[in-house]
């Protein structure tokens, strides 16, 4: 005989706080963006590294690019928080167990 047990697990991940995301991004730039979006943080961190190289090669003139990138980080954080409204993950698992017959000798 085979018994089947179905288990459903629902995990609700709370939404990100917009104020905290903007505050972290304001003070830490792309590092603060990691709170709202990991991919966004990686992309903007790469952009900051490219801007740093441009600034070094242009003897500091390229540093004016840091301000628009900082604004872009804050906008990205706000958009990521608005898009992340209470993400819900549901997992269904079915386990089958077979009951063996015990025979007494």
| Closest by CA position to 81, among listed 16, 32, 23, 30 | 16
46 inside domain:
yes
Mean pLDDT over residues 25-37, rounded?
A: 93
8 inside domain:
no
What is the pTM assigned to this prediction?
Answer: 0.66
Higher per-residue confidence, 5 vs 65: 65
105 inside domain:
no
* Structural domains counted in the chain: 1
Is the per-residue pLDDT at 76 higher than 70? yes
Mean pLDDT over residues 19-34, rounded?
A: 94
């Amino acid at each position: 005989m085979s018994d089947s047990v179905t288990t459903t697990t629902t995990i609700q991940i709370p939404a990100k706080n917009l104020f905290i995301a903007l505050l972290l991004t304001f003070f830490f730039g792309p590092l603060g963006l990691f709170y709202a979006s990991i991919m966004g943080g990686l992309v903007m961190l790469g952009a900051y590294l490219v801007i740093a190289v441009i600034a070094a090669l242009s003897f500091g003139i390229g540093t004016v690019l840091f301000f628009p990138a900082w604004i872009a980080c804050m906008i990205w954080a706000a958009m990521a928080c608005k898009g992340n409204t209470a993400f819900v993950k549901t997992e269904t698992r079915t386990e089958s167990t077979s009951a063996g017959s015990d025979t007494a000798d």
